[in-house]
Amino acid sequence: MAFDLNAFSPRELESLIAQAKQRKTALKKRKPIASVRKKVTDLAASEGYSIAELFGGSAGTAKTATARKTASPTKGRKLGKVPPKYRNPANKAETWTGRGKQPLWLAAQIKKGKKLEEFLIK
């Protein structure tokens, strides 16, 4: 966060300095994060819990919780192969399952005015 100090009046600068000093003293009074983390871990262990049980995930961080929510339900699972639904009449080896982007041969034929149903495999 950058400020253009030239844009502030003397009164605004004094107010900003006072706020910065208050914040600095408040931060100095805080205990180091490692000691607070150890206290919380010890308290959970003394009650028979782990941090993972209390907050979820391996360490209960927001990062792992977000990653868990956005993971795909099919990740790591192989999906079955889908048989082709459409075939190019000019080249029988060119087929399309109907999933994903249309192949160039099919898009060109549709652009010429043909219907998608004309390419269905019976």
| 53 within some domain | yes
60 with 90, same domain?
no
* Best CA proximity match to 60, nearest among 49, 70, 75, 71: 49
100 with 61, same domain?
no
Q: What is the pLDDT of residue 57?
A: 67
Q: What is the pLDDT of residues 40-79, one digit of tens each?
A: 999 999 999 888 888 886 554 445 445 555 666 667 777 7
| 77 within some domain | no
| 64 within some domain | yes
21 with 47, same domain?
yes
Mean pLDDT, to the nearest integer, of 19-34?
A: 92
